[in-house]
Amino acid sequence: MKNIYKFIAVAFPIKSILSRSFSIVLLIMLLFAGAKPVEAQTTVNKQLYLKTGALLNRVVPTSGTPQSSASLFKQIAVIGATSTATSGAGLGISSPMTIPHTTGENSNRLMIVTIVSDPANSGPNSVVNSVTYGVTALTKLADTVNGANVKVELWYLKAPASGLANVVISWTPNANLQIIAGVTTLYNTDQESPFSIIKKSVGSGNSASLSVPSELGDFVFDALGNAKSALTVGSGQTLVYDENTNKLNGGASYKIGIAGTTPMTWSFQQSNIPFAYIGVALKGQSNDIAFTQSPAMCGSFTIKSGSTITILANAAVTSGAASGATLPLTAELKHGATTVFSSSSAANSGLDVNGSTGTLTWTGTRGTDYTIPASGILTLELYSDYTAANIRIDYDATTKPSRIILPTSTATPLSYINKY
């Protein structure tokens, strides 16, 4: 009996406590009756690893042997031979103009033909209608005309045949044309998409200038005509040719481009001289690499604005030498046609002489939220504007876990009871 009494004496306080706890729970239920569910926002990092087969997925590398990409590189276009011809000191010549030109055997060739003409002398209907090299037609890239004073045109041909052949420029029959033409062959050019944005200018004065959109290492080429004053090529530009007729002066030049825009200028001996001017950046041969996600995302997620996206790549120098805390290498992360993230500057750690290894890191934020839907596929594209070194990417190994780190928001529903 003594032990039973002790049990009962303890039981009464517990019952009292349970009664009060039940009352508190009931009060909370009543207060939140009818409340809508809310979500607790947390941030997690999704990691996509660069994988064998140029893939991206979330499987952590387990191999001890890394895979290696082809090297990222960019070459500067190199100028070859230039041939020129003019209509001479007379009032013009009839069509066609023939210019013998020899193209070398170097790889990734591109031919540019510049034409400066006098619209007033030849009449408004006397226009250049074709340019050929041997039996192959060139394509007009751009032209610009300053009233009846002067006109400038650029024509081009990818992969012209090596050897000697004639460039033939034809225009409206039975019409004389004052003309200056130059034929230039370039090597090491991008054969898929060689040209950047074309810039043009017309006006009158004692000089002409352009700011040509370019990337580091581009070959920036210009052609100018005026009516009529002696030309002086701008500082830092290399003269390609400078010719004249009795009513025209025309010239072409080039400069190795910088990131952003490259300034190009010509000055004239006299003032108030009408001119027409064209400039364009030509891209050197390059090698880019891409990794595509597989399998696709199993669920949607959102990259919040202001959160840091990181792309980390293990890398090695395969030719030349790298220097600097940052290198002009571009990483673009795309979802379909949409660029989710882009950075044109990679933080360099450890890459210097040929054979050195280290890491490249791109970081940045988005200005707006972006949601990757379920079944969405991401693609990582890497480009180089660096001409001093060739760099490969190593990946898919425990020691070389190249990856993309995506900060995402994850919502956890907290549903309150609607009814008691």
Q: Percent of the chain beyond pLDDT 90?
A: 81
**pLDDT at position 42:** 63
Residue 294 lies in a domain: yes
304 within some domain: yes
- Helix, strand or coil, per DSSP, at residue 122: helix
Residue showing tokens 């081009």: 156
Q: Which helix (H) or strand (E) holds 28?
A: helix 2-31
Residues 227 and 291 in one domain: no
pLDDT of residue 1: 38
Q: Are residues 293 and 377 in the same domain?
A: yes
Query: Mean per-residue pLDDT for 120-127?
Result: 61
Residue 382 tokens read as 């890497």
329 and 278, same domain (yes or no): no
Assess whether pLDDT exceeds 90 at residue 288.
yes
The predicted pLDDT at position 292 comes to: 98
Q: State yes or no: pLDDT of 337 exceeds 60.
A: yes
CATH code (residue 342): 2.60.120.260
Please check whether residues 182 and 251 belong to one and the same domain. Answer: yes
Look at residue 335 and tell me if it is in a domain: yes
Same domain for 212 and 80 = yes
Examine the domain organization and report whether 230 and 151 are in the same domain.
yes
**What does the angle CA 327 – CA 332 – CA 333 come to, to the nearest 5 degrees?**
140
The rounded mean pLDDT for the chain is: 88
Pair (175, 309) in one structural domain: no
Please state, in angstroms and as integers, the Cα–Cα distance from residue 288 to each residue in 60, 72, 188, 384, following that order: 25, 6, 15, 7
Distance separating alpha carbons of residues 94 and 100, to the nearest angstrom: 18
* Whole-number Cα distances in Å, 202 to 10, 87, 123: 102, 23, 19
pLDDT digits (tens, 9 = 90+) for 351-400: 999 999 999 999 999 999 999 999 999 999 999 999 999 999 999 999 99
Q: How high is the pLDDT of residue 410?
A: 57
**Residue 125 confidence class, pLDDT cut points 50, 70, 90:** low
Q: How far is it, in rounded angstroms, from Cα 276 to Cα 114?
A: 12
Q: Quick: pLDDT tens for 134-176.
A: 999 999 999 999 999 999 999 999 999 999 999 999 998 877 8
Q: State yes or no: pLDDT of 49 exceeds 80.
A: yes
Q: Above 80 in pLDDT, residue 16?
A: no
Based on the fold, state whether residues 103 and 136 are members of the same structural domain: yes
Would 30 be classed as within a structural domain? no
Residue 270 sits in the same domain as residue 320: no
pLDDT confidence band for 27 (50 / 70 / 90): very low
**16 occurs within a structural domain:** no
User: Which one of 263, 282, 301 terminates a domain?
Assistant: 282
Q: What is the token pair recorded at 293?
A: 């996600």
Could you tell me the CA-to-CA distances from 258 to 73, 238, 286, 386 in Å, in that order?
A: 17, 15, 16, 11
pLDDT at 30 over 50: no
Residue that is last in its domain, among 250, 265, 282: 282
- 232 and 174 in a single domain? The answer is yes
- Determine the pLDDT at residue 151: 95
258 and 304 part of one domain: no
Give the residue among 78, 68, 74, 50 at the shortest CA–CA distance from 383: 74
Structural domain for 157, as ranges: 76-282
Q: How confident is the model at residue 90 (pLDDT cuts 50, 70, 90)?
A: confident
- With respect to residue 25, please indicate whether it lies within any of the assigned structural domains: no
Which of 240, 260, 282 is a domain's end point?
282
Mention every residue, 6+ apart, whose C-beta is less than 8 A from residue 16. Answer: none
407 cis-preceded (ω within 30 degrees of 0):
no
Q: What is the pLDDT of residue 7?
A: 30
Contact 189, 109 (CB under 8 A): yes
Q: Supply 390's token pair.
A: 């060739």
Q: Is 135 exposed, middle or buried (0-12, 13-18, 19+ CB in 10 A)?
A: exposed
Question: In this structure, is residue 20 part of a structural domain?
Answer: no
For 57-81, what is the mean pLDDT?
96
Q: Return the H-helix or E-strand segment holding 270.
A: none
In a domain, 5, yes or no: no
Is the confidence at residue 349, as pLDDT, over 80?
A: yes
pLDDT in tens, 205-233: 999 999 999 999 999 999 999 999 999 99
> Are 264 and 279 contacting, i.e. CB atoms less than 8 angstroms apart?
yes
| Domain count of the fold of the chain | 2
- Average pLDDT on 324-350 reads 97
Q: What is the dihedral of CA 213, 214, 220, 224, to 10 degrees?
A: 0
Instruction: Kindly state whether residues 161 and 237 are assigned to the same domain.
Output: yes
Split at pLDDT 50, 70, 90, the class of 203 is: very high
